[in-house]
């Protein structure tokens, strides 16, 4: 009776060209178990044979993450990214995207072209996840991307100001404010508004901060953001009596209480 190694060989020999179905996912899972048990050939054949398809490519990708951690995840990202740029079929990305989200908080370790290739994907919010990862990166290509997103009115253009924050240049306060004032989509406007205040916190500029805050107050669609804006106007001594009166009738109770207890703004000069 053949030993267990012969069964191992049969599984590994079946990995190349094994397709895009549940059987293929099971073969890769079996091989991953062998690799985790110290079988170097199993790991090598997995890396050589992984050619993801739209149905089970993501499920197989998870095996690389569990086997090799961040290195396995990055390998899978590159493969799935190449798939997304060449197929019009629906690609299952649920599990993999949940792990890709870590790059919104940790620097992506490889060539950022992998992420740039995913930006224009709108399936499963792939583009948004890629942009959040790119927002951690300082690179001329990321700055250029921020401008392209706004100029083409791309779906995820609401991330453009966040991209600009880590790729800041002279005059960007005015540029970011212009983007905000020209936007008419409420969701994008809200995203721009949140990132505007962060931009000024990271790159302080007294001359343009008050005009930014006033624009935020007038155009921002979120009462919580408006409360933060009013608080900062009070701190800057820039809340006019007209605005104070308007705020005293605000739908947000906290804003009404805020202006009630704030000191009067001194007259100019």
Closest CA to 192 of 168, 211, 232, 164: 164
- Tally of CA atoms within 13 A in the half-sphere of 208 that contains its CB: 17
Query: Is pLDDT above 50 for 1?
Result: no
Closest CA to 142 of 161, 163, 127: 163
Token pair, residue 187, equals: 């969701």
Q: pLDDT tens digits, residue range 166-198?
A: 999 999 999 999 999 999 999 999 999 999 999
Mean of all residue pLDDT scores within the chain = 87
Q: Is 189 helix (H, G, I), strand (E, B) or coil?
A: helix
Which run of H or E residues covers position 107?
none
Average pLDDT for 122-140 = 87
**Helices of type H across 50-139:** 57-84, 94-100, 113-116, 126-134
Could you tell me if 72 and 80 are in contact, meaning their C-beta atoms sit under 8 angstroms apart?
A: no
Q: pLDDT tens digits, residue range 206-220?
A: 999 999 999 999 999
Measured in whole angstroms, the distance separating CA 245 from the mean position of its chain's CA atoms is 39
Close Cβ partners of 217 (under 8 Å, ≥ 6 residues apart): 226, 229, 230, 233, 243
In this predicted model, which residue has the larger pLDDT, 259 or 7? 259
**Helices of type H across 135-222:** 140-151, 160-165, 172-182, 186-202, 206-219
Q: Is 187 helix (H, G, I), strand (E, B) or coil?
A: helix
Length, in residues, of the chain? 269
Closest CA to 43 of 31, 30, 52: 31
As a whole number of angstroms, the distance between CA 6 and CA 110 comes to: 38
Q: Apex CA 64: angle with CA 138 and CA 83, to 5°?
A: 65
Q: Is 85 helix (H, G, I), strand (E, B) or coil?
A: coil
Query: Which pLDDT score is estimated for 194?
Result: 93
Q: pLDDT tens digits, residue range 216-251?
A: 999 999 999 999 999 999 999 999 999 999 999 999
What is the percent of the chain with per-residue pLDDT over 70, rounded to a whole number? Answer: 89
């Amino acid at each position: 009776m053949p030993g267990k190694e012969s069964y191992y060989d049969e599984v590994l020999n079946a990995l190349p060209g094994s397709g895009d179905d549940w059987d293929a996912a099971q073969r890769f899972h079996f091989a991953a178990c062998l690799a985790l048990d110290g079988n170097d050939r199993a790991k090598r054949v997995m890396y050589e044979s992984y050619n993801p398809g739209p149905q089970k490519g993501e499920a197989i990708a998870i095996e690389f993450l569990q086997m090799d951690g961040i290195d396995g995840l990055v390998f899978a990202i590159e493969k799935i990214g190449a798939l997304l740029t060449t197929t019009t079929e629906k690609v299952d990305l649920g599990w993999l995207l949940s792990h890709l989200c870590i790059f919104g908080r940790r620097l992506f370790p490889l060539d950022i072209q992998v992420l740039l290739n995913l930006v224009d994907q709108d399936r499963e919010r792939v583009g948004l996840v890629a942009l959040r990862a790119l927002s951690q990166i300082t690179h001329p290509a990321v700055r250029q991307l921020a401008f392209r997103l706004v100029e083409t009115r791309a779906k995820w253009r609401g991330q453009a100001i966040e991209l600009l924050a880590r790729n800041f240049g002279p005059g960007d306060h005015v540029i970011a404010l212009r983007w905000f004032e020209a936007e008419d989509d409420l969701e994008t406007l809200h995203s721009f508004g949140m990132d505007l205040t962060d931009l000024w916190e990271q790159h302080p500029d007294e001359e343009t901060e008050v005009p930014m805050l006033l624009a935020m107050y007038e155009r921002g669609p979120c009462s919580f953001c408006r409360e933060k804006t009013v608080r900062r106007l009070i701190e800057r001594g820039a809340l006019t009596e007209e605005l104070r009166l308007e705020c005293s009738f605000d739908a947000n109770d906290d804003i009404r209480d805020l202006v009630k207890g704030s000191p009067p703004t001194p007259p100019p000069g």
